[in-house]
Structure formats: C-alpha cells, structure tokens
Amino acid sequence: MRKLFLILTLIFLQYTQAQDSIKVEKKTEDMPKEKNPLDIGELKINLNPEKDKWLKFTISSQIWLRSIDNNPGTLVNGVAQEHTYDAGIRRMRLIMQSQLTPFYSIFLQMGINNQNFNSGGGTGTGASGAGKKAPFFFHDAYNELAIIPRNNFQTGKPNKNNIYIGAGLHSWNGVSRMTNASTTKMLAADIPVFNFPTIEIADQFARQLGVFVHGEFDRLNYRFSINKPFATKTTPAVGGPAVDNNQSGKLSFAGYAYYQFFEKEVTATSFLAGNNLASKKILNLGAGFYTNKDATQTQPSENVFESHNTNIFGADVYSEIPLGEKRKEMGLTLYSVFYNYNFGPDYLRISGIMNPGTPDPDFKGQKMIEGAGNNRVLMGTGNIWFSQIGFVIPKFSKILKIQPYFNYALKDMRALNQTGSYYDVGANFYLYGQNARIVAQYSSRPLYDISSKRISDRKGEFLLSLQIVL
C-alpha cells in the first residue's frame, strides 16, 4: 500500500507541475507584446473580416500663442496698439476615410480655421463677440475610384503603375509639392500660404470643385484636375491693378508631377509631407501649373473692362537625407521651390493670418501698403523663391526629438519697386513621433511705404504652436 501511495503521489505531483507549466506558457502567450512607446495606433473600424472594407478617422488640432509687432496705424478692438498678444485655433480638423469596396472610397474633411479673440467668428456675432462661433465647414468631400490600384487585390503585391479618378471638393492641386502640403507634417510652424495661389478667392480653403486623376507611372507621381473655380466679381478701379473677377465662368486646369529618385511615397490622400524627420531617403524633382482663363479684370478707362488669364508655374526639389549612424536618427530635410505668378497687371494680394488689427482712420504717421495688424505682401504678379531646411539632432531620448529649421522667401512683385526678404527661424520639439509637437518660431517681414513702394521698416512675430494628431 505504501508503494502504491508513493506512486500515486508522484503521479499527482508530476501532473500538477505539468498543469502549472501549461498555465505559465498560456499566460506568456496571452500577455500583450511590448508596444513601441511612439506608436499610438490609429482610429480605424474594420467593416468585414478580410479588413479590406473600413472606416478611419483622423483628428488634428493646432493651437497658436503669439506675440505680434503690429504694422503702423493699427487698431485692435478699436484701440491703437503697437503690440498684441493673442491665442487662437489655427486649425481644428476631423477626417473620415472609408473604403467601401476594394475599388471605391470616400474622403471627407471638416473643421474650422483661424479663430482668435476677434477674428474668424461666424455671422451674427457682431460687436459683442467678433471672434465667436467660427464656422465649421467641409474642406474636402470627394469620391474616388481605383482604375489600377496600388496593390493587386488578388496577390496583395504592389503594382508598378496605378491610376485613380475622382470628383468633388478636393485638394489634388497643381503647381508644387507645397500646393499639396500636409498641414500635419510641416517642417515649420505653418506653410507660407502663397503656395496656394487662389486661396479663399477662387477656391474654398485651397480646394475647388471638379474632377481629378492621380497615380504613378513607375517612379513618376502625377496629379491633374479640371475644376470650376468659385465665383468672384470684384470691380476694378479705373487705371488700377487687376482684381479677381471670373464672371465669364471659365474652367481652371491644374497639374503637378514629381520624379522619385530614391524611396517612393505613398499618396493615398492628396497631402504631401513636408517633413518625415529624415526617417526616409528621398529626392524628388517636381513641376506643375495652374491656369484659368479670364480670371481677373482691369478697367483701363471709364466703363472699359479687360479680362486677364491667371497662369501660374512652379518647380521644386524635396529631399530628406538620414545622416550618421542609424541609431542616432538624425538627418536633413530640404525643400526649395520657384513660383512664377501672372494674375494680370500689378495684381497684389495682402494678407495676415488671424490678423487682430484694423486700420486706424486717424493715423497720421507713415502709411504702409500692407495696412494694419500683421498683414504682409502675400503674393501677386511676379516671382517668389522659397526655401527651407531642417536638421534632426542626434537622438538623446526615447520620447523627445528636436529639429531646428530655417525658412526664407524672396518676393519680386511687379507692383512693388523692391524685392522683399521674409524669414522664419524656429525649432520643433516632437513628442511621440509626429503625433504631438511644440513649435517655437520667430518671423520677420518687411513693410513697404505706400508712396515709394519700397521697404521702409520691418516687423516681427513670435509664435508658440501646440499640435496634436491622432
């Protein structure tokens, strides 16, 4: 009996140890894998088990804190101010993408822009709240059909060539890479805005209604569109410059293409990155155009009107160069673009982002072409050369990355008698990759005397930007 008891005891102990071992192995298998601290995932809902039908959301927010040196003769909320502090929402966006079938997709983007304490407000806010209730509107709303998809639906392997067509309110723009810029992957705190030649004039926040085609032919990435510009009908002054007036209703045509020498970029949306933290080796050369017949108008003499075509050309180079040892994750980002604009005789556009100021009618000092607040010469008939460079410093943290940068723009406008230099210097502080960043930037702009049309002063602006992308 003792021997039988000992044998049964040994069998029981071995069985118990085996069960414990199985439990430990199972527990190890069930334990989640260690996650990359920089990977916060994506907001995606799969609509079928194969995961080829889905609904995806992206949320982005850019908050600005600023210190602005106002142009001479500025009123802020009716009070003369040489200097203004403010806070504002530069962009707040919600994107919805849906792949309904392997061939058919929908893209929607909604949001608000440019709201501060006294600008960007909705209708009806009046003197008791000029900056309140900023309008929430569609930025993009288009449908897209894959003629030749990026990846073969049967094998899953990439196709060497692909082509997509679509229609709606879209931003598959021409002219340059920066005219198709991603506002969540910018090198600087913001894009220079003159990269959108018809922004908020013949377009809706850089979008027009129409049809487009885009895709790749081996290493050549391309996009072309035919659109109906939004209506304009500004009346020109007698003997004055060209103004926006497209009452004849002509279509616009746009295109942009770039050749990719090294790594290829995926263009599932229209937006092209201006900064990948030099994580890729990229060298792209591109060129593009935008044309719209009878887009502007002049009045050479009383009640005699003359229409002018808008023709815009751009050529650019974009490069990202990883440097040194891979583990240091450092590198250079470079971009340079040349724009040739022709909007008609002496066309000139003045603008200031979230401008807090209005002109003081009683101002007796030297007056500037730019007017009040943080207005600057944005663009016009003439040429602009713009370049930027950024450097990701060697890795010193698992969470934080630092990238100083510099922007420079040289504007030669025919309506002015002197070329103007504009620059921004700043640094990006990235948290969790490009999902969260803080930007500190100082900008300097020239001011043109209203009589001589030559530079007579400069003003600056300090910006702290807080950006989140999910």
106: domain CATH number is: 2.40.160.10
Greater model confidence, 298 or 154: 298
- When pLDDT is cut at 50, 70 and 90, the band that residue 37 belongs to is low
Q: 173 near 260, Cβ under 8 Å?
A: no
Global pTM reads 0.90
* Full strand arrangement of the beta sheet holding 79-80: 79-80, 74-76, 358-359
Query: In the predicted model, is pLDDT for residue 103 greater than 70?
Result: yes
CA separation for the pair 251, 235 (Å, rounded): 21
Q: Is 170 helix (H, G, I), strand (E, B) or coil?
A: strand
Query: In the predicted model, is pLDDT for residue 4 greater than 70?
Result: no
Q: What is the per-residue pLDDT for 24? A: 36
Q: What are phi and psi of 198, to 5 degrees?
A: -120, 25
Extract the tokens encoding 72: 């001479």
Residue 13 included in any domain: no
| Secondary structure E strands in 9-158 | 43-46, 54-69, 74-76, 79-80, 83-99, 104-115, 137-148
| Model pLDDT for residues 153-191, shown as the tens digit of each residue | 778 788 999 999 999 999 999 999 999 999 999 999 999
Query: In the predicted model, is pLDDT for residue 19 greater than 90?
Result: no
Extract the tokens encoding 175: 């002219």
Q: What is the per-residue pLDDT for 51? A: 83
CA separation for the pair 369, 352 (Å, rounded): 13
Range of weakest confidence among 81-85, 377-381, 382-386, 430-434: 430-434
Quick one: average pLDDT of 77-104?
95
Residue 15 included in any domain: no
Give the DSSP H/E element, type plus range, for residue 9.
helix 2-30
Who contacts 131 (Cβ-Cβ below 8 Å, separation ≥6)? 115, 116, 117, 118, 119, 120, 121, 125
| Model pLDDT for residues 192-246, shown as the tens digit of each residue | 999 999 999 999 999 999 999 999 999 999 999 999 999 999 999 999 999 999 9
Query: In the predicted model, is pLDDT for residue 5 greater than 70?
Result: no
| Residue 154 Cα distances to 142, 151, 157, 161, 239, angstroms | 26, 9, 8, 16, 64
Greater model confidence, 119 or 203: 203
Give the DSSP H/E element, type plus range, for residue 442.
strand 436-448
Residue 10 included in any domain: no
Query: What 8-state DSSP symbol labels residue 14?
Result: H
Q: Minimal CA–CA distance to 420: which of 455, 386, 395, 465? A: 455
Q: 399 near 434, Cβ under 8 Å?
A: no
CA separation for the pair 298, 434 (Å, rounded): 46
Query: In the predicted model, is pLDDT for residue 23 greater than 50?
Result: no
Query: In the predicted model, is pLDDT for residue 367 greater than 50?
Result: yes
The number of folded domains in the chain is 1
Query: In the predicted model, is pLDDT for residue 3 greater than 50?
Result: no
Q: What single letter denotes the amino acid at residue 273? A: A
Q: What is the per-residue pLDDT for 2? A: 45
Query: In the predicted model, is pLDDT for residue 323 greater than 90?
Result: yes
Q: What is the per-residue pLDDT for 128? A: 64
Q: How does the average pLDDT of the chain come out, rounded? A: 91
Q: 469 near 434, Cβ under 8 Å?
A: yes
Q: Is 3 helix (H, G, I), strand (E, B) or coil?
A: helix
- State percent of the chain over pLDDT 70: 90
Q: What single letter denotes the amino acid at residue 88? A: G
- When pLDDT is cut at 50, 70 and 90, the band that residue 52 belongs to is confident
Query: In the predicted model, is pLDDT for residue 344 greater than 60?
Result: yes
Residue 416 included in any domain: yes
Residue 275 included in any domain: yes
CA separation for the pair 93, 121 (Å, rounded): 17
Residue 278 included in any domain: yes
Q: Is 342 helix (H, G, I), strand (E, B) or coil?
A: strand
| Model pLDDT for residues 445-457, shown as the tens digit of each residue | 999 999 999 999 9
Q: 437 is in which domain, residue-wise?
A: 36-469
Q: 83 near 120, Cβ under 8 Å?
A: no
Residue in the structure block whose two tokens are 């002109």: 359
Among 18-32, 118-132, 150-164, 362-376, top mean pLDDT goes to 362-376
Query: In the predicted model, is pLDDT for residue 41 greater than 70?
Result: no
